[in-house]
Amino acid sequence: MVENKEIYDAHHGSEFANFCHKRKEYRELFDFQAIQEFNLLKGKVFVPFNQFADVYREVQNRPKAIDLDSTKDQMAAKLRREKGAPISMILVSGIPGSGKGRLANSIAKLLVPLQLKTSFFKMPTVQQSTKYVTADFVKALKAEQASFEGVDVLVAALPSYHHLKKAIFELRKSEEFTAMFDIKFVVTKVMAMNFWSN
């Protein structure tokens, strides 16, 4: 990384501090700035950095309760679709530009070795991917329903972050949605550094 920074500085002839070469050291700051900028765009006030840092470090230092590898079989059993049952769904939520679409696609691929037939879904246009409306989300899913034939699991990028609980509540209240899908897992942790890498 030091060598990369030297090459960058030599090429651009500048003393500008290019923090992307020290992502590990500055990840906390990157995450704070990405979320702060998103809130600013929404006209909302975010917490000061020192408050964010306290919570961030507490979460980062929290011991991991379980090993993901040891839960694969249980997870596969929960996701496997029984005959006549709705398709199991994993929702991936995150701020716009955070990489939730890529993460959802990666999760879908990782489930294949568990003998699960998977598919990936995200809203068809950029505009629809940045603003969430439950009726539009269900309509877009219904339009793709034929392509989900025989699928055990659908991993869907959900364009909702601040109102995630409300979005899930509305989906579960929708008879049209629940006839097709059963939400089994919700993934909300998408690293904000992806926002800065784009």
**Contacts with 160 (C-beta within 8 Å, 6 or more apart), sequence order:** 93, 132, 166, 167
Same domain, 42 and 96: no
pLDDT for 197 equals 46
pLDDT for 196 equals 46
Rounded-to-integer distance, Cα 158 and Cα 183, Å:
12
pLDDT for 184 equals 93
Check: CB of residue 187 under 8 Å from CB of residue 93.
yes
What is the model's pTM?
0.64
β-bridge mates for residue 128, sequence order: none
pLDDT for 142 equals 93
Task: Say which CATH number the domain at 122 has.
Answer: 3.40.50.11030
Residue 64 dihedral angles phi and psi, to the nearest 5°: -75, 125
Same domain, 34 and 132: no
Which amino acid would we find at residue 69?
Answer: D
Same domain, 95 and 14: no
Rounded-to-integer distance, Cα 70 and Cα 65, Å:
11
Same domain, 92 and 187: yes
Residue 71 dihedral angles phi and psi, to the nearest 5°: -110, 5
The three state secondary structure string of 76-105 is HHHHCCCCCCCEEEEEEECCCCCCHHHHHH
pLDDT for 170 equals 92
Check: CB of residue 114 under 8 Å from CB of residue 81.
no
Domain holding 185, by residue range, is: 68-196
What string of pLDDT tens digits covers the 198 residues of the chain? 555 556 656 655 555 556 666 666 778 888 888 888 877 877 888 888 888 888 888 877 876 655 556 677 888 888 988 888 999 999 998 777 777 888 888 888 888 888 899 999 988 776 666 678 889 999 999 999 899 989 999 999 887 666 788 888 999 999 999 999 999 998 886 555 544 444
Alpha helices in the chain (DSSP H): 2-12, 23-41, 49-61, 72-79, 100-110, 126-130, 134-143, 164-173, 175-180, 193-197
